Amino acid sequence: MLEILTKMILSALAEKTAEGGQDALPAEHTNLNALLIVQRLPGHLHASSTMRSLRYIRRTNLLVARAIAE
């Protein structure tokens, strides 16, 4: 998910530049940090909350993958 979001932002930035737009503003550079993107989506204030959620999702995905394999 992080990779997809980062690719989307980089693509939009490339399109803006190709259309003759100015280079990225400093605020746009913070959008390239995948953790900050994912942190803002659910409204987390702290990176620790985001990391707990990501670890939970990763563990859940592993359990589901194992159950499907069996």
pLDDT tens digits, 20-63: 666 555 565 566 677 777 777 788 888 788 888 888 888 888 88
- pLDDT category of residue 13 using cuts at 50, 70 and 90: confident
Residue ranges making up the domain that contains 39: 2-69
- Residue 27 has a pLDDT of 60
What pLDDT score does 24 carry?
Answer: 55
Closest CA to 28 of 4, 3, 50, 6: 6
Classify residue 53 as exposed, middle or buried by CB count within 10 Å of its CB (0-12, 13-18, 19+). Answer: middle
Q: How many domains does the chain have?
A: 1
Q: How far apart, in whole angstroms, are the C-alpha atoms of residue 11 and residue 61? A: 28
Q: Which two tokens stand for residue 25?
A: 């503003």
Is residue 65 predicted with pLDDT exceeding 80?
yes
pTM passes above 0.75: no
